Amino acid sequence: MCGIVGYIGDRDITSILLVGLQRLSYRGYDSSGIGILSDGELSTWKKSGKLVELETMIDGLSIQGNIGIGHTRWATHGIPNDINSHPHVNQSKKLAIVHNGIIENFSSIKSRLSKQGFLFRSQTDTEVIAHLIEYYMANASLETAVENALLEIQGSFALAVIAESEPDKIIAARRSSPLIIGVGDNENFISSDINPILSHTKKVVYMNDNELAVITRDHIQLKLISGPEIPLKTHQINWNQEASEKGGYDHFMLKEIHSQPHVVRTILSKYIKGKNQIQFKDLHRDGIDLKLINRFIIQACGTSWHSGLIGKYLIEQYAHVLTEVDISSEFRYRQMISQGNDVVMGLSQSGETADTLACIREAKSKFYKVLSFVNVKGSSIDRESDGVIYSHAGQEVGVASTKNYIAQIVTIYLFAIHLAHIKGKLSKDELVNKIDQLNKIPEYMDSILSKADELEAMAEKYYLSREFLFIGRGLNYPTALEGALKLKEISYIHATGYAAGELKHGPIALIDAKLPIVCISPQTSTYEKMLSNIQEVKARKGKTIIIATEGDKEIKNYANDLFYIPKAPEELTPLLACIPLQLLSYYIAVKLDCDVDQPRNLAKSVTVE
Ligand code: M6R
């Protein structure tokens, strides 16, 4: 969380920093700020609220300079006000720092520095770094002072520092938060991810933990913090700046929902070769032997955890390999019990989620192999895994994950049937049949999307309800969880997902004539059971919104509102059933005038614990 950008060179500094912050604003949007050195003099501008507040603040100012840093914040320490916004400066306001992460021992450092006369202006943990660097600068260069400060602080950081005393450089460093250097010609860039850099250069250096870089316009020196120099390893990025445009849609989320058939087609074209042969190019990077795997332990958060739950069903169903799924923030503090030949599987859109990354690192330290399903190439989880399957969802801008959810399910599905085939549980013919069935999904999705107006009309009926229940069974129990998460994160309506069979163990007490209950009930092996659960709801006068299979006439009797999805094999129903739920949430949020793409309190990439 929080986005950092930095530039040194001859271009228009304000525009480079502001466009960069715009592209990073998915990482946090509580406040933003920039710090620029012009003729060796430091100036900073910062403002709480969305980036537009900062843009308005500096509109009309003629800001010059060749070196600058910028920050978009997701608040951890201190409320999102102007003072707590980054950059933070030292006592004399001659040094500025932007920071992403959490300094765990900031309070003890702060009280020590306060006793020595340092005056603190903000409630942030970041400000202590500015003062600590100043403290060490009494007897050292900027680089050494930053190193000394970093040796003292505990926690996570990606940071960038500029100072009047050495106005030709940016010092950048990272530990457990991402940071990338863009290598230009007589200019250089830093950023939390590739997006602000891509339109300027395709040559990047991924910084690793505990590395520090001294960046001037024509040189980059990379070293370990207080350690030796490290050879610079540049990577050539061969992808283009994703169109950061809404493409005629009102919101990125809506555009991304509508792009889902295209995403599935892309995945199929990437992984299906020749005559229905599945090939995963980056799966065997480092010694993962699929035949030997006895157990998968899936690690994920949020929506990725929901696709992990579906992954469990698919892998166990097809490949008969025991698969556990855990929320990373829980798993990382438990004892890992190895049964031999276990593989830890990380699922992450961003590839930077702190909890998932921590689990992967813990697993690697205990000699587990790690196989990850990641969307963002070059992300920490991508680089640190022994094998990777890319989601190929394209850049997801909306904070609420939609197309990556679909992409994760499709890639796990392909992986599950591939594994089943390798393990002799699925014949070649069965494999081909499964791929054929998957090939039909984009068309089915198109037909659901063409009926979006039905969901808009449903949203009109229900958008004033303050509570929703989502129920499903089997593979569509995770669909219920995902439907509830989508609704609450973008519309701020309380919603809970339940396994329908669990209703009678407590939640049924909530049901009355006012409560809308979204029932995900396609014709699968648990259909009859689901029907009974829906009748239990009806008997208590609950308002049912049912997602059912086309042609299912009986279910009409129990539905206050009904949305049909095309008939598909059971294992593929989550791919279809989630789309009406995404659209229903979207239209409800729009009617409530919520900020759909950037919901309050959230960030797209959760790089703090
Ligand atoms: O980047 P990741 O997939 O690791 O992110 C995990 C969650 O933070 C993410 O899915 C979050 O729950 C989304 N806001 C859901 O829409």
Per-residue confidence at 58, pLDDT binned at 50, 70, 90?
A: very high
**418 and 542 share one domain:** no
Q: What value, to the nearest 5°, has the Cα angle with vertex 161 and ends 159 and 167?
A: 155
Pocket test for ligand 1, best of 352, 360, 401, 402 (most atoms within 8 A of CB): 401
Give per-residue pLDDT as tens, 193-206: 888 998 899 999 99
How many folded domains does the chain comprise?
3
pLDDT at 540: 93
**532 and 467 share one domain:** yes
Residue 136 above 60 pLDDT? yes
Amino acid 438 reads: L
**374 and 402 share one domain:** yes
Q: In terms of residue numbers, what domain contains 376?
A: 247-439
**71 and 159 share one domain:** yes
Shortest-distance Cα residue to atom 12 of ligand 1: 302
Of 199, 214, 242, the residue at which a domain comes to its end is 242
Strands (E), 102-236: 157-163, 170-175, 180-183, 188-191, 203-206, 211-215, 220-224, 235-236
- CATH number reported for the structural domain that contains residue 189 in this entry: 3.60.20.10
Of 413, 439, 465, the residue at which a domain comes to its end is 439
**393 and 469 share one domain:** no
pLDDT at 240: 64
Give per-residue pLDDT as tens, 145-157: 999 999 999 999 9
Q: Which residues line ligand 1 (CB under 6 A)?
A: 301-304, 348-350, 353, 356, 399-401, 485, 489, 602, 606
Per-residue confidence at 171, pLDDT binned at 50, 70, 90?
A: very high
Shortest-distance Cα residue to atom 14 of ligand 1: 400
pLDDT at 1: 73
List residues with catalytic annotation: 2, 604
Residue 242 above 60 pLDDT? no
Residue 424 above 90 pLDDT? yes
- Tell me the mean pLDDT in the region 226-254: 84
Residue 515 above 90 pLDDT? yes
**459 and 590 share one domain:** yes
Shortest-distance Cα residue to atom 7 of ligand 1: 302
Of 405, 439, 473, the residue at which a domain comes to its end is 439
H or E stretch covering 588: helix 573-591
pLDDT at 513: 92
State the residue for tokens 């299979």: 549
**417 and 462 share one domain:** no
Q: Residue 401 C-alpha to ligand 1 middle, in angstroms?
A: 6
Lowest mean pLDDT among 9-23, 232-246, 324-338: 232-246
**286 and 432 share one domain:** yes
- Tell me the mean pLDDT in the region 577-605: 92
Mean pLDDT estimate for the chain: 93
DSSP letters of 589-608? Answer: HHHTT--SSS-TT--SS---
- CATH number reported for the structural domain that contains residue 590 in this entry: 3.40.50.10490
Q: CA 543 to CA 560: how far, in whole Å?
A: 6
Percent of the chain with pLDDT over 90: 82
pLDDT at 569: 97
**238 and 257 share one domain:** no
